Amino acid sequence: MSPRTAPIPTGHSGLPLALPRAPAMAFDVKDFRELVAIIDSHPEWQRELRRVMLTDEIVNLPESLHQLERSQRLQIKHMEGFDLRLAALAESQERNTAHLAQLDQHLAELDRHMARLEVRVEELAAAQARTEVTVARLDNAVGVLAGTNLELLFAQRAAAYLLICGFRGVHVLSPNDWIDSVDQAIADGRLAPGDRQSILRADAVLRARDAEGPLHLVVEVSSVVDRHDVERAVTHAGLLGQGLEGLRVRPVVAGHAYTAGAEALLASSPDITAVRMSS
């Protein structure tokens, strides 16, 4: 009978706290298998053995793998959302591309329309220029006709107009009645050759008499008499007075209305007669 063996003290996990020293012996496969069988029969020893033999990283590896798996699932979910947004963005881009193509087409049509419009505007501008030239010619023609008509009206009613101004025996003269005297004055050096044409530009030359005796009247007729009309009448009367030596010549202006400049000049020149023609 073998001697009684004393029990081996163990810790709270059940593992032996210390093994009694024994003579050194070889650890063979049989011993290893017996150790594995003992550990298999004590699960609490397995946990302690893993803690002693393995590092914290390896022990915590299952939990780390679980965390990595959760993180991977979150990333996959995030990528799925990103894919959806990317697909929506691609669809929006396709719509924008189609819209830009339509816009390019509209702009091309607008460019063609603007080109036609520019051509039309140029045509209208050319037509407007021609119209303005025509209107200017018509205005000039109307002005000439109106002036001529007013001069004829004054010639027809000169006796009545001038009678109001104190002149009697009014008679409208033609250039033939006085041109010889002007030419003689030019020959004598009393007038310059250009003065002949200036006198001929007078609207009318009349013979009349006033309280002082016979005289000639040089008339400028205008619908609206301005300062220049008054000055021309004075100039023409002065030239004709030099041609008709020894005869009195008086300037006359006639019109429907007078500018302020003409009124001021007439007020300072009592030798000028102003005829107010009725409308």
DSSP string, 140-172: HHHHHHHHHHHHHHHHHHHHHHHHHTT-EEEEE
Best CA proximity match to 220, nearest among 144, 157, 272: 272
> Which pTM was predicted?
0.52
Helix (H) or strand (E) holding 215: strand 213-221
Read off the tokens for 103. 């816009």
Answer yes or no: do 269 and 162 share one domain: yes
CA-to-CA distance for 15 and 176, rounded, in angstroms? 162
Structure confidence by residue, pLDDT tens digits, 22-54: 555 677 777 778 788 888 888 777 777 777 777
Q: So what's the pLDDT on residue 232?
A: 96
In 3D, which of 235, 248, 250, 246 has the Cα closest to residue 184?
Answer: 246
- In this structure, is residue 143 part of a structural domain? no
- 171 in a structural domain: yes
Helix or strand run (H / E) with residue 206: strand 204-210
State in Å, rounded, how far the first CA of the chain is from the last one.
171
Residue 216 maps to a domain: yes
Q: Which runs of consecutive H residues, i.e. helices, occur in 19-60? A: 29-40, 43-53, 56-59
Tell me if 47 is assigned to some domain.
Answer: yes
Max intra-chain CA distance, the chain = 196
pLDDT bin (cut points 50, 70, 90) of residue 141 is: low
Counted domains in the chain: 2
Which of the residue ranges 71-75, 100-104, 194-198 has the most confident prediction, judged by mean pLDDT?
Answer: 194-198
Q: What local confidence, expressed as pLDDT, does residue 36 receive?
A: 81
* 245, part of any domain: yes
199: three-class secondary structure by DSSP: helix
For residue 162, tell me if it sits in a domain.
yes
* Domain CATH code at residue 199: 3.40.1350
In a domain, 55, yes or no: yes
pLDDT score, position 43: 79
Q: Residue 191 — left, alpha, or beta (φ > 0 → left; ψ -120 to 50 → alpha)?
A: beta
Q: Decide if 243 is inside a domain.
A: yes
- To the nearest whole percent, how much of the chain has pLDDT over 90? 46
Which of 8, 43, 59 is the endpoint of a domain?
59
By residue range, what is the domain housing residue 41?
A: 29-59
Tally of CA atoms within 13 A in the half-sphere of 5 that contains its CB: 6
**Which of 7-16, 189-198, 262-271 has the weakest average pLDDT?**
7-16
Give residue 278's pLDDT. 76
What tokens were used for 256?
């429907």
